[in-house]
Amino acid sequence: MSFRVDFIEGSRIALRSLSAHRLRTVLTTVGVGIGVATLLAILGIIQGLNTSFEKQLETIGPSSLYVSKRPWVQMGNWWEFRNRKNITMEQVEAVRAQSTFAEAVAPWMSNEEDISFNGIDLSAVDITGTTPEYAQVGGYDVTQGRFLTGSDDDNLASVAVIGADVASTLFPHSSPLGARIRVNGRPFAVVGVLAAKGKVLDENQDLTVLIPLKTFRALHNGYRSHTIGVKVRSPELLDAAEDELVGILRRARQTPPSKPDDFAINRAEQLAGVYNQLTGALYGVAVAIGFITLLVGGIGIMNIMLVSVRERTREIGVRRALGAKKRTIVLQFILEAVVVSAVGGLLGTIVGLLGAKVVSWVTPLAATVKASTVFFGVGFAAAVGLVFGIWPAARAANLDPVEALRHE
């Protein structure tokens, strides 16, 4: 009961004091607000980028494994990876026949080439030769026409399914279906258009052309290593499926037990690791800047509170002489600091959210702010006020009542 009375009375006195010094209160509030706004804007952009990257990873098949000669993230000797044996169609068939976790298996080869149509050229387009299962493995949808079929591959057909960016560039005002684009000087009839998938680590998945695998091999007149995409029945089975693939491939490639794997099994989590390495230090620096800015605002609160204690020394002496306890004085000044800081935190949160949104509108950077981040901003600002208000409050409570009454 006594604490509640102290709290209510302390709140009234604190608000009255803040209202009496409006300019000082506003300046202190702005200082905290700038710190919170900076921190929340940074956190909003970071959360937006993380959310955007998670969505990008989903586009490459969250429940798929990809077998190739080289790992996506090469940490060892690149020459060793280059000299590994090619992955053959016999090994593809071994995976298809022996894997108990695979829902679909698709081999492919790819190369960057120039394509053209009706005088419009596109450079460095990813040309991929593959089979019908590729759509299921990579999570591709067709918005127009159809995907590749088994008969396309069997007959070495000159047909192509094109990515969304290829379609919008070569056919800005017309349907691409039935048109003949030229790939490596050879005409291909467009039979389908893929739904847009976006970029992953700056790799454009929509700047692509898919053709039958056997056609690709005939067109390039040479033998290259395949990549094997394996769609697993469930994401929970990825680890078990990977272990199974290791055994299948080691037997198919006749890898001796004493030798390490001479192939790589890749999955989306590896790209997530690369992303975290690339952005971790940057995020750390950005958040540190926000915290430093907020720390400066906290120091401003402490400075203003010390000035307030000095100005109101006689008032404190009168209250102590009339029987006010130390905790009552402490609570009053802490409430002043917390109120100023919380108001600044609220205003800073609003400005920070707006800043993050503006950044997402005018730049390619995404910005997503979670509700928990908003509560964090206001709560952290109030905590800053509490921490930096403790010393001035304690100093006020420990003033000698007699000396305080003599203060002018």
For 334-387, the pLDDT digits (tens) are 777 777 777 777 787 787 777 777 777 766 666 666 667 677 777 777 777 777
The answer to whether residue 336 is domain-embedded is yes
Question: Is the CB of residue 90 less than 8 Å from the CB of residue 252?
Answer: yes
User: Residues 99, 39: one domain?
Assistant: no
Domain that holds residue 122: 85-262
Count Cα neighbours of 333 within 13 Å in the Cβ-side half-sphere.
31
On the question of pLDDT at 140 being above 50, the answer is: yes
Partner residues linked to 117 by β-bridges? 120
The answer to whether residue 61 is domain-embedded is no
List, for residues 212-224, the tens digit of each pLDDT value.
Answer: 999 999 888 766 7
181-186: long-range pairs with CB below 8 Å, 24+: 181/115, 181/116, 181/117, 181/209, 182/115, 182/116, 182/117, 183/113, 183/115, 183/127, 183/209, 183/211, 183/219, 184/113, 184/114, 184/127, 184/219, 186/158, 186/219
User: Residues 258, 280: one domain?
Assistant: no
On the question of pLDDT at 45 being above 80, the answer is: no
pLDDT at 19: 67
User: Residues 126, 221: one domain?
Assistant: yes
User: Residues 339, 248: one domain?
Assistant: no
> Is the torsion defined by CA of 220, 228, 66, 150 positive or negative?
positive
On the question of pLDDT at 107 being above 90, the answer is: yes
Query: Which of 211, 227, 262 is the C-terminal boundary of a domain?
Result: 262
pLDDT at 49: 74
User: Residues 224, 114: one domain?
Assistant: yes
Dist CA 96 CA 84 (whole Å): 22
User: Residues 169, 302: one domain?
Assistant: no
* Number of C-beta neighbours around residue 368 at 10 A: 18
- CA 350 to each of CA 29, 38, 342, 345, 354: distance values in angstroms, whole numbers, following the listed order: 13, 11, 12, 9, 6
List, for residues 155-207, the tens digit of each pLDDT value.
Answer: 999 999 999 999 999 998 899 999 999 998 899 999 999 999 887 766 788 99
The mean per-residue pLDDT over the stretch 247-275 comes to: 84
Longest dimension (CA), the chain: 104
User: Residues 220, 105: one domain?
Assistant: yes
**What does pLDDT average to over the chain?**
80
The mean per-residue pLDDT over the stretch 125-135 comes to: 94
The answer to whether residue 21 is domain-embedded is yes
The answer to whether residue 98 is domain-embedded is yes
The mean per-residue pLDDT over the stretch 311-325 comes to: 70
The answer to whether residue 121 is domain-embedded is yes
The answer to whether residue 65 is domain-embedded is no
User: Residues 140, 237: one domain?
Assistant: yes
What is the number of structural domains in the chain? 2
Query: Which of 209, 235, 262 is the C-terminal boundary of a domain?
Result: 262
User: Residues 247, 280: one domain?
Assistant: no
Least confident of 85-89, 234-238, 366-370: 366-370
On the question of pLDDT at 128 being above 90, the answer is: yes
On the question of pLDDT at 3 being above 90, the answer is: no
241's tokens: 């499926």
Query: Which of 262, 292, 310 is the C-terminal boundary of a domain?
Result: 262
pLDDT at 1: 47
The mean per-residue pLDDT over the stretch 59-70 comes to: 82
pLDDT at 231: 93
The answer to whether residue 68 is domain-embedded is no
Q: Find which of 183-197, 292-306, 315-329 is predicted with most confidence, using mean pLDDT.
A: 183-197
User: Residues 150, 20: one domain?
Assistant: no
List, for residues 12-29, the tens digit of each pLDDT value.
Answer: 666 666 666 677 777 777
Residue 128 zone, left/alpha/beta (φ > 0; ψ -120 to 50; rest): beta
The answer to whether residue 80 is domain-embedded is no
